[in-house]
Amino acid sequence: MTNVIDGKAVAAALRLRVAERAAAFAARAGRPPGLDVVLVGEDPASQVYVRNKGRACEEAGMRSAIHRLPADTTQDALSALLDRLMADEAVDGVLVQLPLPAHLDERAVLARIEPSKDVDGFHPANVGALWLGREALVPCTPWGCVRLLDHAGVKLEGARAVIVGRSNIVGKPMAALLIQRSATVTVAHSRTRDLAELCAEADVLIAAVGRAKLVGADWVKPGAAVIDVGINRDAEGKLVGDVDFAAVAPKAGAITPVPGGVGPMTIACLLENTVRAAWRRAGYGALDL
């Protein structure tokens, strides 16, 4: 199907460009860009994510380090590690893998990461800068969605966009990015009335919910661009998105699959943010990527 957006291919191309910029940075700075990832506890999904991020960094010629802390780590011990990473000049990006164990204060942890090293884009200063339309480190998943829409040639200016999901990591920053691109944006959530009808008016539909196959063909306007952020397991344990791909793909103008859509872009955009952070901290000026 020609309308399927190949996230793997778009991500691979971005990773190549990032690797070129990482090499240019290393030649100038005398060291590669570096990402430090902090993992607290032993959540199996988080372990996989963290390992993949580290591997992707190394493939792009960047330094990566994973700091594994036990599940009963105290707030003070985590803060001390973050303070050490903030003071280390060779650390360009720091990411704390979420979710954290319940006894830790996530908000305080995220606020402890300096905005210039905040490659997840979750610090209030980066969130504010994004909404003000200023230079910011932007959350990787929504940024990857914009890159996929651009790759597919979807016109955002003047488009009606509906985002289903209002989380701080996907839905809200997605809204900020699409407003910046002059789309007319509606953000829907669990309390939205007439959700199917609302979605069926969208030229661009972003599903970021976490409910397998929530979005069916009757939710989608013919020719719409559909971006599926969701990661779920269906009854057979197969990885599926929030969109019923088989039903929606024939109707959509462009659609991302799960797996192989948004997921690979999230990691590629994390690498992009790390090189951007390194470039900016070194004062090397604008970075074209």
> What residues are annotated to the active site?
53, 97, 120
Smallest separation (angstroms) from ligand NAP to the CB of 162: 11
Applying CB under 6 A, which of residues 53, 63, 112, 166 lies at the interface with ligand NAP? Answer: 166
Contact status, residue 94 vs residue 38, Cβ threshold 8 Å: yes
Contacts of 162 (CB under 8 A, 6+ apart): 185, 186, 188, 198, 199, 201, 202, 204, 205, 206
98 contacts ligand NAP (rule: CB under 6 A): no
Footprint of ligand NAP on 173-202 (CB under 6 A): 188-191, 195
Rounded Cα distance, 46 and 260, in Å: 19
Binding region for ligand NAP (CB under 6 A) out of 26-34, 162-170, 173-181, 268-276: 162-170
Structural tokens at position 29: 């700075």
Asked whether position 262 contacts ligand NAP by CB under 6 A, the answer is yes
CA terminus-to-terminus distance, the chain = 28
Q: 139: which DSSP letter?
A: P
Measured from the Cβ of residue 195, the count of other Cβ atoms closer than 10 Å reads 17
7 touches ligand NAP by CB under 6 A: no
Q: Return the residue matching tokens 């372990």.
A: 47
Sign, CA torsion 109/112/113/115: positive
- The tokens describing 249, both together, are 């793909």
For ligand NAP, give the closer residue by CB, 25 or 245: 245
Among 8, 68, 160, 211, binds ligand NAP (CB under 6 A): 211
Cβ distance to ligand NAP smaller for residue 41 or 259: 259
- The reply on whether position 170 binds ligand NAP by CB under 6 A is yes
Least separation in angstroms between residue 49's CB and ligand NAP is 9
Question: Which CB, 235 or 286, lies closer to ligand NAP?
Answer: 235
Interface with ligand NAP (CB under 6 A)? 141, 164-167, 169-171, 188-191, 195, 208-211, 229-232, 262-263, 266
